[in-house]
A and B are shown apart, each in its own frame.
Chain A
Amino acid sequence: MCVLILFKDVSKRYKNGTVALRHVNLEIKDGEFVFITGNSGAGKSSMVRLLMCEDIPTSGDLIVNGSNTQKLSRRQIPKYRRQIGIVFQDFRLIPNLNVYDNIAFSLRVVGRRRREIVRKVNTAMELVGLVHKARVYPNQLSGGEQQRVAVARALVNNPRLIIADEPTGNVDPSLSVEIMNMFLQINRMGITVVVVTHEQHLVDQMGQRVVSIRDGRIISDTSWEKGDTDEF
């Protein structure tokens, strides 16, 4: 498996002086499922921001699918983002669009054709089990269902990588495992999945690689497949 994400001695210091990441070295291979855990303020969100190219590292290099994010021009960023699907804690569904249109939205705004949109949206809805709710509006859905729509929206553009930022933060705890299983299912399709969460009990149940961060540093990287833990 080739390396999809490479943090090479990445540090991030914000203008107000806060140091969010300190010399982070991390390698995520194509097709991997990785949890990034840590308490609030540990630096998880900063990692997501860097991965989404909302920000660039203060020092070090972040290479995603061969692209150094620091060297991407403003024009290249949209294309870069099209290979990443993102799922937010607050779903970020458009309230006046139904499920179908919410999912189709991410294809329409990148200029895809109607026929392609219909095909891909239907596939994505099938994948998350929401075909029967295609014409329903977000406020008529449960938290779990809304998150599934958000996942379908992230998936519909055939990304190589899915980043989920606290995906279970706003759903009923009983549905959290179901959501995580959905990400596992997506990962089995060959898509690299990075889930950022602070819910340790959930991470423990899933049996996947776990990268723990504290104060901007990686403190452990546990691979369940290998059964070993790298302590930092």
Chain B
Amino acid sequence: MSFDSFFFLLKSAVNNLFRNLLLTLASILVLVLCLVILGSTLLVVDNVNVFVEEIGENQVAVFLDESFTQEQIDGFMTQLAQIGNIEEITYETKEQALQNYMESLGDDYFFENPLEADTFRDSVLFKIQDLTKYEQTMYEVKKLDGIANVRERKDLVARILELRETVAFLSICIVLLFFFVSVFIITVSVKLSVFSRRLEINIMKYVGAADYFIQLPYFIEGMLIGLAAGTISLFVEIYLYQSVLFPLFADFGMFAPVSMSANMPFWLLFFLGAGTVVGIIGSVFPVKKYLKV
């Protein structure tokens, strides 16, 4: 394609946008709303995942038979690793356990006499990778020799799983719903644009313009609407997250909320990419009807 043709197509697309300026602005506004809801949903999901990871840390503690030698402990840890679906296996001595406990209490230390290490037991701590296979993995763990006791948080795991599933399901629903709403908005906008230029399309067909040449201005139009909405959404989302969602998550105090700025390249790509893709998809169908000449 020559530069002249490209310039012509671009000019046509920009003209389309300004010809239906009010509709263009309305489309951008609605699309911004959709993209911000999509972005917020992803951020909530992200934060829920971080929350789940943090509360799920070292969720299982296995207390070993006190008569176990170091060699047996090493053997136990090797067997544990071989079960699979287990990560971050660490051996914690009772001294370390005491120190960790004291650190976790901080200023809230309320015991009259200092605690002693013998209050605690040596243990093997680990995390379950895939919580959906929690029961099965723990069944395998409990079959190992030398386990005196197991401290697990079955209920918590069940709740985490439930929470994850609910959030995942809701987020998929929201993403799908607003994806279709966004596509619909672009479709309507481009459809009206196509309708107002049906005479031009008709002439283009008669003088032998290729289908792609007829469609391209509308793709570009949809893409420009998407890009504009994506850019605005990014700024709105940054503001919304920093001023509303981040403080809200931070108030829980149970985990460090996700930082948007740390993942800026992703969010930039997400908003501009989602806007562009929605713009292009939304502009495919309206033109097709008028190509049949």
Q: In the complex, what distance in Å separates the CA atom of A113 from the CA atom of B205?
A: 19
A54, B293: Cβ atoms closer than 8 Å: yes
Q: Which of A80, A81, A82, A108 is within 8 Å of B8, CB to CB?
A: A108
How many A-B pairs with Cβ below 8 Å? 62
* Interface residue tally on B, bucketed by range: 20 to 34
Q: For B201, give the chain A residue with the smallest CB separation.
A: A109
Q: Which residue of B lies closest to A88 (CB)?
A: B206
- Which residues of chain B have a CB within 8 Å of any CB of chain A? 1-2, 4-5, 8, 199-200, 202-211, 213-214, 293
Contact for A74 among B206, B211, B213, CB less than 8 A: B211
A86 touches B206 (CB 8 A): yes
Given contacts A54-B293, A111-B2, A111-B213, A81 and B199 within 8 Å (CB-CB): no
- Tell me, yes or no, whether A175 is within 8 Å of chain B by CB: no
A205 CB to nearest B CB, Å: 28
Q: How large is the interface on A (under 10, 10 to 19, 20 to 34, 35 or more residues)?
A: 20 to 34
Interface residues of A (CB under 8 A from B): 52, 54, 74-75, 77-82, 84-86, 92, 94, 105-106, 108-114, 117, 153, 157
Selected from B5, B207, B211, B214, the residue in CB contact (under 8 A) with A82 is B207
The distance from the CB of B292 to the nearest CB of chain A, in whole angstroms, is 9
Complexed CA–CA distance, A21 and B23 (Å): 45
Question: With a CB–CB cut-off of 8 A, which chain B residues contact A54?
Answer: 293
Query: Are B207 and A111 interface neighbours, CB within 8 A?
Result: no
When chains A and B are docked, how far (Å) is the Cα of A111 from the Cα of B207?
Answer: 12
What residues on A are CB-neighbors of B209 within 8 Å? 78, 109-110
Partner of B208, one of A94, A105, A113, A157: A157
Most chain A C-beta atoms within 10 Å of own C-beta, residue among B203, B208, B210: B208
Contact of A81 among B4, B200, B207, B214 (CB under 8 A): B207
Assess A92 versus B208: contact at CB under 8 Å? Given A108-B5, A108-B8, A114-B4.
Answer: no
